[in-house]
Structure 1
Amino acid sequence: MRRRKFLGSVGIGAAATTLAAPAIAQSAPQITWRLQSAFPTSFAALYPAATTMAKYVEEMTEGRFRIQPFAAGEIVGPNQIADAVAQGTVEMGHTASQYYHGKDPAFSLGTLLPFGFNTRMMDAWQMQGGGLDLLNTFYAKHGFFALPGGNVTAQMGGWYRKEINSVSDLAGLKMRVGGLPGSIMAKMGVVPTAIPGGDVYVSLERGTIDAAEFTGPFDEERMGLNKVAPYYYFPSWWEGQAAVHFFMNLQKWEELPAHYKAILRAAAAVAADEVVTRYDYGNPAALVRLISSGAQLRNFNEEIIATALAASKEVYAELNETNPEWKTLYDSIVEYRDSAYAYWQLTELSYDAMMARLRTQL
């Protein structure tokens, strides 16, 4: 009798397993996506975000959801990723929203606002202040959905072949800079020039351009820019932070099971954090090496900063009048920026200033 009960229970279990299999397959479908990065493999902080995303998604789905990363230009160029994702040429991209400033200036606000946030403020605005929802409302009109994919953190102010001592020194200066910062600098007399990252060194060396901004010491040391433009300026008033995102084709995103979406969110968060920590850890040592090899640090004086601020306000006023989607994002950013810095100056800023002052005594 016990044997009959046992065999019966085995039969029921087998039947249940047989019945459950199609349901499991349906809830965890086999999916393969392609992820086009805007960054080459030589970008040791940014490119690995794509491989980290792919690694964790595959591991958390036991291989059922696979993402194939491609380095810059392997499928489409960095400035084509938004369109490629929207059109389904690739399912996902890892890129900076500001690269698509030419499509709509509102794209730039997904990455930066000159005289805007620092890194943590950008994260807080996106994740707690409704910023990511506002961005995704805008992105949806262009056919994709975004998750935060890291931050380059506060940048340096670029490499210059000559010293910049006054605003007049900027007149006619050919500089590798684009997007929103380029629009502002054009009002200051700079001639913005679009040059791919791989061509910056040669362009500076040959004098095709007079200056170039990129990210910061961790990346720029590898590019060797100090060898062809010795003056290294700070602060980068236009990039107190620079956020990047994972763009996903909107239809493909909406078709995913809920737990795959949750996995993508989790994997993106890990990848984003890794980008920030790589820059935070790598920049200080890289700067020391650059200085020891001849880079000459210079700071933008108050005249230049004041002129840049006035030019920024002029550009923002024009865009607020003509671009309602820009204005929606801009108003949200400015509201939080102003309240955040009122608090920051009492806490983070005062602590950092104290520690910088005392660092040689510690």
Structure 2
Amino acid sequence: MTIDRRKFLTRSSVAGVAAAGLASPAIAQSQPEVRWRLTSGFPNNLDTIYGGAVVMADALKAITGGKFQIQVFQAGELVPGPQAIDAVQNNTVEIAHTCGYYFTGKNPTFAIGSAVPFGLNSRLQNAWLYHGGGNEAYDDFLSAYNIIGKPGGNSGAQMGGWYRREINSVADLSGIKMRIAGVAGEVMSRLGVVPQQLPGGDIYPALERGTIDAAEWVGPYDDERLGFYQIAPYYYYPAFWEGGLTIHFFINQQQYAALPDEYKAALDTACKAANLNMQALYDVKNKNAIRSLVGKGAQLRPLPADVMQAAYKATFELYEEYSERYPEWAKIYPDWKKFRDEGLEWFRVAEYTYDSYVFGAQAAGQ
């Protein structure tokens, strides 16, 4: 019997396509439809930091073929920003995107996973969290609040804030009312500052009314959008309290545990994408915004040396006090400090010497 080879191959190809068409939906249908709600700690006009949650949700939707979707709400739409952790803990929402140090009123250990004064830069922060045991230690702490955390964005080193008047020494800080959050506020209070914790959207009106004298937020791009330069012209650097802020996705433990393994992997991948993307965006946007701000009259100033020295001393005294008062802090801090010290030693060898040379050459016009 003879076979028409062309017809056979055609029929075989059609059959293969049909089989693939049947198999694909069957596989897709084996996974459940999951719909979560996310509360952000930020207003949506701050597109880069708020946008980290959108980047994650879009990636997750694409990876899962639309089966696992997360709807993002700006701060205040579902719950106020300061209640984000409570909302996740109580399963009012499944997930939040915010800064751990906003919740140091509960326990200062919340801050160590995000940013603490004279802590890790962004590279070391990622190294510690992903491969230095940091996220495991942080999750162990967070388990008491029925949540887990996944890094979901980094700002890089931030600016030291906007001031109505120049700061020439530690003495000039005395009595200044400053918007500054978390452990940084405690350190600054020891230098004479009166710390105020305000959401991003409330900072400009407070500066305008004179309720506060100074404010820190993130860096040039966000700060320009918020308009601080119009009221407080002196722009200081660096934010010694945020050398590399990590914003976390905080997830309800039970909701996470109920996910299929494939969805857990997809969520983890999407969070990592958001973490990488945010700092890349800030590095692009800040380089343009700092030039724009100077053109609008912002007066760039380094924090005086005696301010930095006094803050450094106060910071590590505070950490020792935390170790005595908070067992959760004491459990994480020694390994964190060892990682920090060894990481800084390595960075001084290659990163710092390279950066210092090229910065100097560029400044000299070479």
User: TM-score, with normalisation over the residues of structure 1?
Assistant: 0.92
Q: In the alignment, residue 46 of structure 1 is paired with which amino acid?
A: I
SS in 1 for 2:106: coil
In structure 1, C-alpha distance between the alignment counterparts of 2:199 and 2:285, rounded to whole Å:
23
Equivalences for 1:32-51 in 2 at 5 Å? 32-51=35-54
Q: Counterparts of 2:300 and 2:198 in 1: how far apart (Å)?
A: 24
Distance 1:67 1:347 in 2: 41
1:238 to partner: Cα distance? 1.1
The residue that corresponds to 1:198 in the other structure is 201
Corresponding residue of 2:240: 237
Q: Which of 92, 95, 101 is 2:95 aligned to?
A: 92
- 1:311 paired to 2:311: no
1:135 aligns with: 138
Inter-partner Cα distance in structure 2 for 1:188 and 1:358: 36
TM-superposed deviation, 1:44: 1.9
**AA at the equivalent of 1:102:** G
Q: Partners of 1:306 and 1:61 in 2: how far apart?
A: 50
Correspondence for 1:348: 351
Task: Report the 3-state secondary structure (helix = DSSP H, G, I; strand = E; otherwise coil) of the residue aligned with 1:350.
Answer: helix
**Structure 1 residue 196 displacement after superposition:** 2.3
1:146 maps to 149
How far did residue 116 of structure 1 move?
1.1
Question: Which digits, 9 at most, give the CA deviation of each residue in 1:221-244, with x for residues without a partner?
Answer: 001101100001112111111110
Contact 2:38 2:73 in 1 (8 A): yes
For 2:64 and 2:286, locate their aligned partners in 1 and report how far apart those are by CA, in whole Å.
Answer: 35
- Does 2:308 match 1:302? no
* Equivalence for 2:5: none
2:126 is aligned to 123
What amino acid does structure 2 have at the position aligned with 1:68? Q
Partner residue of 2:293 out of 277, 290, 295: 290
Query: Given the superposition, is the C-alpha separation of residues 278 and 24 from structure 1 closer, same or farther in structure 2, using an over 3 Å criterion?
Result: closer
1:73 aligns with 2:76: yes
Give, in angstroms, the shift of residue 24 of structure 1.
5.9
Write the mapping of 1:162-173 to structure 2, written as runs, cut at 5 A: 162-173=165-176
Distance 2:198 2:100 in 1: 17
Asked if the contact 2:81/2:199 (under 8 Å) is kept, the reply is no
> What amino acid sits opposite 1:348 in the alignment?
E
* 1:197-220 deviation line (CA, Å, top 9, x unaligned): 212112212221110011100100
Secondary structure of residue in 2 paired with 1:271: helix
Task: Quote the Cα distance in structure 2 between the aligned partners of 1:333 and 1:257.
Answer: 32
For residue 361 of structure 1, report the CA deviation from its aligned partner: 3.5
**1:315 positional shift:** 1.0
- Name the counterpart of 1:278: 281
Give the Cα–Cα distance (whole angstroms) in 2 for the partners of residues 203 and 224 of structure 1.
Answer: 12
Moved more, 224-233 or 52-61: 52-61
Counterpart Cα distance in 2 of 1:199 and 1:252: 32
CA distance in 1, matches of 2:361, 2:28: 60
What's 2:215 paired with?
212
1:308-347 alignment, distance < 5 Å: 308-347=311-350
Q: CA deviation at 1:172?
A: 0.8
**In the alignment, residue 311 of structure 1 is paired with which amino acid?**
A
Separation of aligned partners in 2, 1:66 and 1:313:
43
Q: Give RMSD over aligned pairs.
A: 1.9
Preserved contact between residue 43 and residue 201 of structure 2 (Cα < 8 Å): no
Letter in 1 for 2:249: F
* Separation in structure 1 between the aligned mates of residue 44 and residue 325 of structure 2, nearest angstrom: 39
**1:42 shift after superposition:** 1.1
Unpaired segments of 5 or more residues in structure 1?
1-5
Deviations 1:261-313 (Å, cap 9, x if unpaired)?
00001111111111110111111110011011100011112211111111112
Equivalent residue letter for 2:126? D
Amino acid aligned to 2:304: N
**Partner Cα distance (1:204, 1:263) in 2:** 42
* 1:106 and 2:109 aligned: yes
- The answer to which of 264-273 and 188-197 deviates more is 188-197
Counterpart residue number, 2:185: 182
Deviations 1:112-131 (A, max 9, x none): 12111100000000011010
Task: Tell me which residue corresponds to 2:229.
Answer: 226
Per-residue Cα deviation, 1:126-168 (whole angstroms, up to 9, x for no partner):
0110100000111111011111101111001000001111111
